[in-house]
């Protein structure tokens, strides 16, 4: 196992990494422990985590153009990833890679959603990424916050309801026919 991979898991277990309020430290520890045997004994799983970490590191550059152009570029890359890793493990690896990208200027939900999206679509899993916004606070000059999550067959894909329910979807990618279309406002 590469030393960097092992040390980041140790750091995760010892609580030295920052974490998002949507996912508790215990969930992070469980994720690392769940993946540890696969990372220790399966070279292809280690290689996939390394590739995902590279992808997460490149996301700020990938997202430099307008969002729809960046997403179209991701679609054109025609990535293919081994189905032997399995959908659940691929999703967990994407979550871990996003979590470990602690120096990224991007939020955890964006890193996680785009990493999941790229690698799951590369396995043939038909997911869609949703980008939403909501107002925060009760003052006239409220702040706006955003969130990104995946949807499969019209339902949020392994995303807790409290994380997406109050957000108005402003963009879905891809829309029917792999064409990006701004979403119609949804009420939750």
Question: Which tens digit of pLDDT belongs to each residue from 57-110?
Answer: 999 999 988 888 888 888 777 677 878 888 999 999 999 999 889 889 999 899
**Looking up tokens 């949804």, which residue turns up?**
186
Q: Per the domain annotation, does 116 fall within a domain? A: yes
Q: In the block, which residue shows the tokens 């869609």? A: 128
Whether 186 is in a domain gets the answer no
pLDDT at 38 over 90: no
Cis peptide before 43 (omega within 30 of 0): no
5-19, 82-96, 142-156: the lowest-pLDDT one: 5-19
Angle between helices 87-100 and 43-62 (to 10 degrees): 50
Give the global pTM: 0.76
The answer as to whether 21 is a domain residue is: yes
What's the structural domain count of the chain? 1
Q: In 1-151, where does DSSP find H-type helix?
A: 3-13, 25-41, 43-62, 67-76, 87-100, 108-122
- The verdict on residue 187 lying in a domain is no
Residue 24: pLDDT band (50, 70, 90) is low
Is 87 inside a domain boundary?
Answer: yes
Q: Which of 4-13, 90-99, 123-132 has the lowest mean pLDDT?
A: 4-13
Backbone angles phi, psi at 78, to 5 degrees: 45, 55
**CA–CA–CA angle 135, 141, 142 (5° rounding):** 20
What domain range includes position 7?
3-181
Is residue 125 a part of any domain in this protein?
yes
User: What's the pLDDT at 83?
Assistant: 81
What is the Cα 116 distance to its own chain's centre? 5
pLDDT at residue 178 above 60? no
Radius of gyration from C-alpha coordinates of the chain: 17
* Domain membership flag for residue 110: yes
Note whether 176 and 159 are within 8 A (CB): no
- Give a yes or no: residue 188 inside a domain: no
Tokens of 54: 């590279």
Instruction: Give the integer Cα–Cα distance in Å for 115 and 104.
Output: 13
């Amino acid at each position: 196992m590469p030393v960097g991979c092992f040390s980041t898991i140790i750091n995760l277990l010892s609580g030295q990494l920052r974490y998002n309020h949507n996912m508790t430290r215990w969930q992070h520890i469980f994720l690392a422990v769940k993946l540890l045997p696969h990372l220790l004994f399966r070279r292809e799983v280690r290689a996939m985590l390394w590739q995902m970490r590279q992808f997460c590191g490149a996301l700020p550059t990938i997202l430099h153009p307008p969002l729809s152009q960046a997403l179209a570029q991701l679609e054109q890359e025609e990535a293919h990833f081994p189905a032997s890793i399995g959908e659940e493990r691929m999703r967990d690896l994407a979550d871990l890679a996003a979590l470990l990208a602690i120096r990224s200027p991007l939020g955890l939900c964006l890193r996680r959603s785009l990493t999941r999206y790229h690698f799951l679509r590369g396995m043939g899993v038909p997911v869609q990424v949703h980008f939403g916004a909501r107002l925060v606070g009760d003052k006239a000059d409220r702040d706006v916050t955003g969130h990104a999550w995946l949807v499969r067959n019209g339902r949020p894909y392994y995303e807790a309801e409290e994380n997406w329910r109050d957000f108005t979807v402003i963009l879905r990618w891809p829309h029917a026919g792999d064409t990006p279309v701004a979403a119609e406002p949804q009420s939750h």
